[in-house]
Chain A
Amino acid sequence: MSRRYSILSLLAGALRGRSYWQPAWRDAAPKAGYDLVIVGGGGHGLATAYYLARVHGMRNIAVVEKGWIGGGNVGRNTTIVRSNYLLPGNAPFYEHSMQLWETLEQELNYNAMVSQRGVLNLFHSDAQRDAAVRRGNAMRLHGIDAELLDTRDVQRLYPSFDFDNARFPIKGGLLQPRGGTVRHDAVAWGYARAASALGVDIIQNCEVTGIRHSDAGVQGLETTRGLIATQRVGLACAGNTSRVATLAGLRLPLESHVLQAFVSEALKPLILGVVTFGAGHFYLSQSDKGGLVFGGDIDGYNSYAQRGNLPTLEDVCEGGMALLPALGRVRLLRSWGGVMDMSMDGSPIIDRTPIDGLYLNAGWCYGGFKATPASGWCFAHLLATGQTHTHAAAYRLDRFSTGHMVDEKGQGPFPNRH
């Protein structure tokens, strides 16, 4: 079950045909009770379980997932990792995540295809250049890598872009060389495998239907697979957080919105790294299989539907055509939507709730994937010790009533604009 992968084991396994490949983690059935249960078997929930077991030595814990591992947003994102944040509340957290990504495969003994191919944010005007310089300086002050590129630098990296665009000329870009992409499914599988090997029960097809609690705190979870007694529960339910929190009578500063993503047919290497267009909302990378992976804004209305509407596709493609006219000759292979837990200031929440023993990890907006390791790390720290981790100190639930918002875009309490 928990055999260690190495080049020798893979070679030996190849000689033994398919008998080598056994399930990588136990498909556990729920026990009557646990010290702690995490609701949500996505990237964040599985990472939390892994760090609880590995760093904090908690082994009598479970992850309950209503569907299957990797079926939610961890398998529905555009695989981008970066730490190019501006605000002091965000930068150390995401940089911690970046550092955990850099050692993830050795840590988990699992090939997650971590590829630091660089994330480039283009700018198209003097004002945007000033903003990029400011952001780059803020990043460097936090010890994060950032390089300012001019038009010629960008042209050298991406000759296929439209450099004659009169309306949105490419004036340069801010590059984070350590950013890149990670195979998203492998992140879920790697964390699941490593957590399972440490004794964590991963319980699939187990939907939480009730949270038993009293004034003394949480007592257990009612699920479609029976009652699970526990006094500590961590919610990591992404887009469905509000629905689960309602079971405990909580209203949260969240709205669920749909974000679409798109993949083209496979092409020969064209796009080296991850690029964002600065004059609209469009981001692009190329997967190792060759497909162009791209996306843009959320649709902008409340949705749990995991699919969006065509006007957003049109808007995304307009951005794409302004940046890379050759995109118009490429056929779209598939598109999909994921449900985003959009918070009121665009930043996440990792905190306790007013109910004793009930903890919250939510509000990832559409930046949850890159945060997976640090989110797991900090949430595990909170769940195990009861203390907020330094890097997640700004992500308090009560910041909305105390005025300590972490609003990277300065948009105010309008989740569809973050």
Chain B
Amino acid sequence: MVVNEANCDGFIHDIAEQLGRMLPGLCLELKENPGKTELGESFDVWEIDTRELRQSLHNGNFPALPTQYQHHQILFDGQARASALSEKTPTGSKKVFKVAVSDVAQRIDQAIERLDLDVEDYSRVVLLKARACWVYAFWLLDRRQVFLVSVPSRFTKLSEHLQAEKYLHEMDFIVALYDEIERVMVRQNDSLDTERL
């Protein structure tokens, strides 16, 4: 059974109250008028620093680090349509600082369904983001596996491993990510030469 410790968090009512203030303006812009808005699952967010991938391949350590952030699923009329990010404050409370309406929420919802169906043995789970390359995955810490949730097509086109809804051993994930990032990413320092994607 997959265990998501963030779901037990005592701050969820406070998060819901903050979302109640942030969502109406966004919904107004998008002409969304949900009859019922709900706060769904929450996840601790861990981050992979893509600059550390090469080192990780040498030392065999999975290069994910915990962040101060939590991801929150938001349901409009029962459908996962939006998500939010909150940050732990020095006083221990949580402040929501970003809300987004995007398809990523639905993909995460589908991944939740899969994990609950597939995984019978004990494993803690957190949400993993590969920094700056828009890859989302669930990291099953005790299984040393990742389940890919959302992967930009620039990766899926090129890599047979980096495909959504696929389980990978955590280090196979790092190898695949490293290969594709080395292939795709362009870095330049001069601001006028900065290239944006």
Partners in one complex: no
Q: Which residues of B line the A interface, CB within 8 A?
A: none
A residues lining the B interface (CB < 8 Å): none
